[in-house]
Amino acid sequence: MNSNIPQHVAIIPDGNRRWARKHGLPRLRGHEVGAERMFQTIEHLMNSGVRFVTVWGFSTDNWKRQEDEISSLFRLVDIWIRKNADWAQEHKIQLRYIGRLQELPLNLQEVIQKAVTLTENNDRLVLNLAFNYSGRTEIIDAVNKLLAEHPANPVDEKIFSHHLYTGGVPDVDLVIRTAGEFRISNFMLWQTAYAEFYFSPVWWPDFDIAEVDKALAAYSKRERRLGGDG
């Protein structure tokens, strides 16, 4: 594997609503265009040699948004998964869900679980869909699992990592965040401990393949010391 290509890329796709507002369109249209852009990005990262991609679609904090926007997001994710599950299976992509699935509408839970089961044996790319997710809730859920399974045993980083939603997936190498935001926003707090960050002013619906390549090129020039001497 090319060491200049990140093994695991995590994406915070900001700017859908601002893009829609700029173009005089409903908020939902921004999310729809953003969903199509995500499809293109995942395919390009896979073809570039990336083996793991984590995409943040909905934060546990996003429940504070207007009810109609939340419902529209749920419908859009439902459609996106139904549309792309067969494509993922054909291209040997394993879909994984990370977050609190049990809090989502039952029909969306079923769609997600069906796609996860369909693709569970694929090994070309692992695609983590972070939906109803936040880094702190993930850590809390991992602690509760540990307390239930290992109440009296000491815990190290390896054991703890295994109990995260991403158990078995390597830590993040590169985080891409769009729309001029410069913060982690409670995303993959454990897994990004030594990640490289790439911040772009471009809104997500405009973050095309050329922008993805800029992020990969920037990563390739970083010297990763992972806490060691440099």
What amino acid positions are annotated as catalytic residues?
A: 14, 62
Q: Which residue has the tokens 């796709």?
A: 13
Cα–chain-centroid distance for residue 76? 16
Residue with tokens 């265009």: 33
Burial annotation 116-126 (CB, 10 A radius, 16+ → b, else e): beebeebeebb
d(CA 101, CA 96): 11
Question: In angstroms, what CA-CA distances link 17 with 25, 30, 76, 104?
Answer: 9, 6, 14, 22
Residues 41 and 48 sit within 8 Å (Cβ to Cβ): no
Q: Say which amino acid occupies 185.
A: S
| Two tokens, residue 152 | 């009296």
Beta-strand pair 8-12/93-98:
unpaired
At residue 47's C-alpha, the angle toward residues 204 and 5, to 5°, is: 80
Using alpha carbons only, give the angle 129, 135, 140 rounded to the nearest 5 degrees.
115
